[in-house]
Amino acid sequence: MKIIIQKNIIVRNPTTRDFLADAYYAEEAKNLPLVIFVHGYKGYKDWGAWNLMAEKFAEAGFFFVKFNFSHNGTTVENPTEFDDLEAFGNNNFSKEMSDLDALLAHFADHPSIDFSKIAIIGHSRGGGISVIKAYEDERIKVLVTLAGVSNFNYRFPSGDRLENWKNSGVMYSENQRTHQQMPHYYQFYEDFKQNEERFTIQYCAQHLEKPMLIIQGTEDDAVKDKEAFLLHDWCRKSELYIIEGANHTFGAKEPWMEQNLPPHFENTITETVRFLRKNL
């Protein structure tokens, strides 16, 4: 089977700005289910082992798309580095939801896709966004979260730290890999508060009437496994799959130079493929 790989497709979004997507699918295949992968906080489409992951899903019979959010800090010219920290600072959840709409619109007429079969997979913060998108959008039939968050609100600062953020207008978070000081402008919090009902993951999960797979590692330092148990409790049609010893990225890291996936990540993909085939 020959896999077609289309890298750095420009997706237009006049509401935010242009961003890039990659598509992986079997040559000459028709009526493929569409699987969209949503990266997390300080993530991007070419991070670590995401390319190997994309090939695995294409080989399994899916039209797999991964993309950079328009304001994730990368650029169309340089999709693998955080070249635009100003954009990163101006990101918010409303923009990410808009980008998902633009992505779906871009691939809506692709001849290889069965648009009645769409799944969304979200990692980390992208898992939270994916829960909201799956709840809001009837086109999405199946949801998978990988180390997905259960709550956006408590990840914002409170008390004096919140007041300082409001007064200064900016808060910085260091990227441990690149050591960049990455800004968050106060508009990020304002956008969340203005749309808090929409961006409450618990409400979306509790009202989701679609199959959901929740995959979580026990050694995740970024998103504790209690969040996976909460999501599972909330969603009526969910399956919970715990991987003993897996970390936040299921053994993958940036850069990933090996030809094979780490065992925990291989396990993650196997379970996800099983679930998608069962429910799409």
pLDDT tens digits, one per residue of 132-182: 999 999 999 999 999 999 999 999 999 999 999 999 999 999 999 999 999
Is 164 part of any domain? Answer: no
* CATH number, domain with residue 256: 3.40.50.1820
Distance of CA 148 to the CA centre of its chain: 9
Amino acid at 179: H
Is 173 part of any domain? Answer: no
Is 231 part of any domain? Answer: yes
Amino acid at 7: K
Is 172 part of any domain? Answer: no
Is 96 part of any domain? Answer: yes
pLDDT at position 83, please?
Answer: 97
Average pLDDT, the chain: 98
- Helix 50-59 to helix 263-279 angle, to the nearest 10 degrees? 40
* Residue pLDDT, tens place only, 47-92: 999 999 999 999 999 999 999 999 999 999 999 999 999 999 999 9
Is 169 part of any domain? Answer: no
How many domains does the chain divide into? Answer: 1
Is 76 part of any domain? Answer: yes
Domain that holds residue 14: 3-153+186-279
pTM, two decimal places:
0.98
Is 160 part of any domain? Answer: no
What whole-number distance in Å separates Cα of residue 163 and Cα of residue 186? 10
